[in-house]
Structure 1
Amino acid sequence: MFAASKSIMHRQPQSNSNDIVNITILGGGTAGWITAGVIAAHHKKQKTNLVNITLVESPTIPIAGVGEGTWPSMRRTLKEMGISETDFLLQCNATFKQGAKFAKWVNGSDNDAYYHPLVEPSRYHAYNLANNYVNTPHSVRFESIVCPQGAVCELDLAPKNLSQREYEGLLNYSYHLDATAFASFLKKHCIEKLGVNHVIADIDQVEGTSETSITALITEKGEKITGDLFIDCSGFKSRLLGKHYETEYVSCQETLFCDRAATLHVDYDEGQTIPPYTISTATQAGWIWDIGLPHRRGIGHVFSSHHMNNEKAKQCLAKYIRRDISDIDIKYFDINPGHRKVFWKHNCVAVGLSAGFLEPLEASSLVLVEMAAKYIAEHLPKTSCVMPIVAKKFNQTFLARWEQIIDFLKLHYVLSERPEPFWEMHRNKDTWPDSLVDNLMLWKYQPPWHSDFAFVEEVFPSASYQYVLYGMQPNFTSSNNIDALECEQLMREETTKRKQQIQYFKNQLYDQRTLLNNIAKFGLPSH
């Protein structure tokens, strides 16, 4: 069948037949270019010149552009790829993100809000301040006692000033970005700076059976693109792992109920600041995200179609932005929350949407891409004989990570006291993963801590659980035998430190729009 195919060769290195040398990535969105860049930069740094990376991008399939929020790990990823932070900020229409503000998630009242910041609690690696918090009266939010970042966000201050070098700041931070511009920016960098081969073609066939390794991709023009390892970044279609290998998709709809999203772009009002955080506002049957870029706001309503129709979802958005919305301004997307049962099969591994998608809450999509790309780069099999071992470890690691993310997202819903049917359904313990049931039982008697989680590199560490748990339910954990007077004294000391830190940041930082304008004029100091 494939005898007449022409082979596309991009200076592929000569190697022993069993060596893993030629990596072929299918899909040119954010996931594909991050993966290409991370692997290429890693092997360039290691001076592993034998690795050859080819990315195949369709000229007809648009970029999904799911998610404009990132985690602080993106700073390390970009830096290790050799990308200038100044260039990234300006060319990807990026802004600084210092966490997320959750509004109306507990009871829906106007003063119902808390922050999930990106700065760890004070003394975090040596002492669990949550133990002291649960043993003292709660007059202020947990995050405001152990961390200054929520207050900095309320002041609309950026996490750094113009004197901080690239990728450094006075506070931990990540980014909001234009996903389409980001993919184009990464493409240019990977091709010009990291030597990634770029093929523009639609794939017609996959050479190989569902029980054997893939040997080549066949384009619609009959050209053959060979490889030793194939990385499926083809988005929701999952052309290789899903369609070719027919790998089972594990639905999470019985746990996470949001299955639709309505999105739109909104212009800023005159003089409106750019919030240095994601705003997540709960609705009757879902929640609204609000992300500020330099030139616009990206807003979306994630909801359950079983509890709300499209028109009602649009009405919620219109009420939120306080203006009318026309049908041409809004786009609707279906969400099938879940993931593949395995992510690496034979010589094919899925990264990004082809591996799965849950929902945009807590911006977990891109951080999983970073983690997967980093794992592949650092554990790239030397030969085909060890690939099954690497694949097994990859599958175990990432199944655990997906399950942990599901637990963490579900936590936001089960702690709510909102009366609507959507929220009542979330509080039904039959919809809770067993691991979350166990942890919530444990946390009734002791606060979340490092030892509660199995992996060293967790997607969400115990600090994230503390911020959400005590942000929504300050009294969730019962007091224990710690000396109450000692706890109160320590909390007073921490409160004093936070006030001093906040005053310092007020003196050092300015609002995000001012910082971005200054970066555009002068750039950030490089290393």
Structure 2
Amino acid sequence: MKIKRIAIVGAGTSGWLAANHLGCELSADAEIEITVIESKDVPTIGVGEGTVPYIMKGLKRFGISEAELLNSCDATFKQGVKFVNWLDPIKHGENYYYHSFDDPYPNGFNVTPYWNSYEGSKSFDDIGVQARISELGLSPKMKNSGEYEGELSYAYHFNAAKFANLLASNAQKRFKVKHQFATIEGIKRCNEGNISHLITADGDELAFDFYIDCSGFSAVLIGKGLAVPFESKAKELLVDTALVQPMPLKSDEDINPYTTATAHKAGWIWDIPLTTRRGTGFVYSSKYMSESEALALYAEYLGVNEKDLSPKKLPMAVGYRKEFWCKNCVPLGLAQGFLEPLEATSILLSDFSAELLAKNFPRDSTNIETIAPYFNKVVTYVWERTVDFIKLHYCLSDRTDSDFWLDNQDETFLSAELKERLQKFKLCPPQQSDFFSRFDLFNEKNFLYVLYGMKFETQKTILSDKEIEMSRTILKNNDRLVEQADQHLLKHKDWLMGLKSAMEKSKS
């Protein structure tokens, strides 16, 4: 039977990302109808306000204007993550490092072995230019840069609710995606075990051919309906709670072109700058910290009286589904799984999975048994390696100020793959051949920044005179680029306000 009617249950970021990916891929087939079903009774979580550069690929395919994205979603540029105090403050003092988006291989040449063997006392951030340019508060784009183009790699921070609205508008106008309101409470299954109908709170039954579960943590279809088990990663990743509090942005306050992730004794705090406010969240493990202590530390970080703090509390079930495609249903977003938003993993995994589904969407129900095992294999690999990358930030820390950090350093809870990689990286720096799958969303370039930002030690190597000379030339050139950067790049806030002013003038 040809699959003609597709239901996407849930209208948050993951739901509308799926609608755009599927709409873009399938819109040439006039028989296919995509419907997003939104509940008025279920609010979206909306904490995913940071992205990685991968997001651009989809936005360009969808035909979304970057200027419209920036202006309508309170968006700012993100050039990476600044990790503060992830190393022992007593041993290292106040410390930070950047996981930047720029290429640590200038001109295709890897200067890491030179840095490691000859200048390891210098910060790894000094190899490239982006960390230092981020510290200067500069934009990654010039005033006349084209859409989705810049002098440096970048992603975005945005208001998640407004971003979902932008995706919704685009999907409906460009790809003719339908939208209806209904609260889905259950499913009906046919004799083969597939979902045949959605059951609404009003008792109505809605029939489709294929179902995408974007219903958030409730996982109405994949969890409650199809009973696909949840694979907990609570032993590997210890944080389980987030307190979320938006903060007003003062008119004279700078807008950082990066996310800040500040460690505390039982987790970390995210601080994401938008053009209208700061999105902040206090992530912690309830095993190692009480809620009252978390509130006190959160208020101290924000510089407010604890009595004036009224954060939303989000319990976090960390892990993912044991099956990502079951019968005629695929979960995306929080229904698929959840990891703390340390490296903007939520939107990344939703975007990747939605694109993979769209590119491999079965045109006939008989194709599902062929495609589903491949999809499950790929997405399982992606989740497992992403768990490894998040764990990397914790297991490398030398903080000893709490049992939380000591337990995170216990190698018992590292995957075999991560253990093997870390052993190899003690002998030589990460290289592309260590990440042989194209489904490693976090590869050697990402590992380099975290490993050496956290002072991981790799065996030194002897380099040729030519390699040494080339490395020194590249690093000196980078120093010059940083010194001259403010002659070419505007302050981040000035660039954003300039765009806003230009767009207001064009409308008048």
Question: Which range, TM-score by smaller chain?
Answer: over 0.9
Match of 1:90 in 2: 71
How far did residue 209 of structure 1 move?
A: 5.6
Give me the whole-angstrom Cα distance separating, in 2, the residues matched to 1:110 and 1:75. Answer: 37
User: Aligned runs of 1:318-467 on 2, under 5 Å?
Assistant: 318-326=299-307, 329-419=310-400, 420-467=402-449
Query: Please, which of 465, 469, 473 is the counterpart of residue 451 of structure 2?
Result: 469
Give me the whole-angstrom Cα distance separating, in 2, the residues matched to 1:523 and 1:269. Answer: 22
CA contact (8 A) 1:29 1:183 kept: yes
How far did residue 340 of structure 1 move?
A: 0.4
1:168 counterpart = 2:149: yes
CA contact (8 A) 2:184 2:220 kept: no
Give me the whole-angstrom Cα distance separating, in 2, the residues matched to 1:72 and 1:186. Answer: 17
Give me the whole-angstrom Cα distance separating, in 2, the residues matched to 1:339 and 1:196. Answer: 28
Match of 1:131 in 2: 113
Match of 2:103 in 1: 120
Moved more, 282-291 or 188-197: 188-197
Query: Please, which of 21, 35, 45 is the counterpart of residue 38 of structure 1?
Result: 21
Deviation readout 1:451-480 (Å, 9 max, x if unpaired): 222321421121000010011115x11113
Match of 2:475 in 1: 495
Give me the whole-angstrom Cα distance separating, in 1, the residues matched to 2:486 and 2:24. Answer: 38
Match of 2:260 in 1: 279
1:210/1:502 Cα in 2 relative to 1: closer, same or farther (>3 Å)? farther
How far did residue 488 of structure 1 move?
A: 4.0
Paired residue type of 1:518: G
Query: Please, which of 483, 501, 509 is the counterpart of residue 489 of structure 2?
Result: 509
Give me the whole-angstrom Cα distance separating, in 2, the residues matched to 1:110 and 1:321. Answer: 21
Paired residue type of 1:139: S
1:493/1:523 Cα in 2 relative to 1: closer, same or farther (>3 Å)? farther
How far did residue 141 of structure 1 move?
A: 1.5
User: Aligned runs of 1:13-24 on 2, under 5 Å?
Assistant: 18-24=1-7
Give me the whole-angstrom Cα distance separating, in 2, the residues matched to 1:449 and 1:293. Answer: 35
Give me the whole-angstrom Cα distance separating, in 1, the residues matched to 2:247 and 2:306. Answer: 10
Match of 1:29 in 2: 12
Paired residue type of 1:431: F
Deviation readout 1:473-494 (Å, 9 max, x if unpaired): 15x11113434x5554333212
Give me the whole-angstrom Cα distance separating, in 1, the residues matched to 2:155 and 2:416. Answer: 32
Moved more, 220-229 or 191-200: 220-229
Give me the whole-angstrom Cα distance separating, in 1, the residues matched to 2:172 and 2:251. Answer: 40
Give me the whole-angstrom Cα distance separating, in 2, the residues matched to 1:296 and 1:490. Answer: 44
Give me the whole-angstrom Cα distance separating, in 1, the residues matched to 2:2 and 2:302. Answer: 56
How far did residue 409 of structure 1 move?
A: 0.6
How far did residue 386 of structure 1 move?
A: 1.5
Give me the whole-angstrom Cα distance separating, in 1, the residues matched to 2:212 and 2:173. Answer: 21
How far did residue 127 of structure 1 move?
A: 4.0
User: Aligned runs of 1:174-213 on 2, under 5 Å?
Assistant: 174-208=155-189, 212-213=193-194
1:236 counterpart = 2:222: no
User: Aligned runs of 1:101-116 on 2, under 5 Å?
Assistant: 101-108=82-89, 109-116=92-99
CA contact (8 A) 1:136 1:487 kept: no
Deviation readout 1:193-228 (Å, 9 max, x if unpaired): 321011100123312069611122132334332222
CA contact (8 A) 2:320 2:338 kept: yes
Paired residue type of 2:113: N
CA contact (8 A) 1:210 1:245 kept: no
How far did residue 186 of structure 1 move?
A: 1.8
How far did residue 111 of structure 1 move?
A: 3.5
Paired residue type of 2:103: E
Give me the whole-angstrom Cα distance separating, in 2, the residues matched to 1:221 and 1:116. Answer: 49
1:328/1:143 Cα in 2 relative to 1: closer, same or farther (>3 Å)? closer
Match of 1:49 in 2: 30
CA contact (8 A) 1:210 1:246 kept: no
Give me the whole-angstrom Cα distance separating, in 2, the residues matched to 1:414 and 1:338. Answer: 18
1:210/1:79 Cα in 2 relative to 1: closer, same or farther (>3 Å)? farther
Q: What is the root-mean-square deviation in Å for CA atoms of aligned residues?
A: 1.9
Q: Per the alignment, in what secondary structure is the counterpart of residue 185 of structure 1?
A: helix
CA contact (8 A) 2:186 2:225 kept: no
Extract unaligned runs of 5+ from structure 1: 1-17
Aligned length: 502
How far did residue 328 of structure 1 move?
A: 5.3
Paired residue type of 1:520: K
Give me the whole-angstrom Cα distance separating, in 2, the residues matched to 1:408 and 1:239. Answer: 29
Give me the whole-angstrom Cα distance separating, in 1, the residues matched to 2:82 and 2:116. Answer: 22
Q: Per the alignment, in what secondary structure is the counterpart of residue 80 of structure 1?
A: helix
Give me the whole-angstrom Cα distance separating, in 2, the residues matched to 1:35 and 1:232. Answer: 10
Give me the whole-angstrom Cα distance separating, in 2, the residues matched to 1:259 and 1:187. Answer: 31
TM-score normalized with structure 1 length:
0.91
Give me the whole-angstrom Cα distance separating, in 1, the residues matched to 2:484 and 2:197. Answer: 58
How far did residue 504 of structure 1 move?
A: 4.0
CA contact (8 A) 2:299 2:309 kept: no
Q: Per the alignment, in what secondary structure is the counterpart of residue 394 of structure 1?
A: helix
CA contact (8 A) 2:186 2:224 kept: no
CA contact (8 A) 2:214 2:331 kept: yes
CA contact (8 A) 2:190 2:196 kept: no
How far did residue 183 of structure 1 move?
A: 1.5
Give me the whole-angstrom Cα distance separating, in 2, the residues matched to 1:116 and 1:328. Answer: 30
Deviation readout 1:78-126 (Å, 9 max, x if unpaired): 12111111111111111110000011001125431111001111247x4
Give me the whole-angstrom Cα distance separating, in 1, the residues matched to 2:189 and 2:484. Answer: 62
Of all paired residues, the percent bearing the same amino acid is 35
How far did residue 270 of structure 1 move?
A: 5.1
Deviation readout 1:18-55 (Å, 9 max, x if unpaired): 112221111011100111011102233xx333321111
How far did residue 128 of structure 1 move?
A: 3.3
Give me the whole-angstrom Cα distance separating, in 1, the residues matched to 2:119 and 2:276. Answer: 43
Query: Please, which of 125, 139, 143 is the counterpart of residue 143 of structure 1?
Result: 125
Paired residue type of 2:34: I
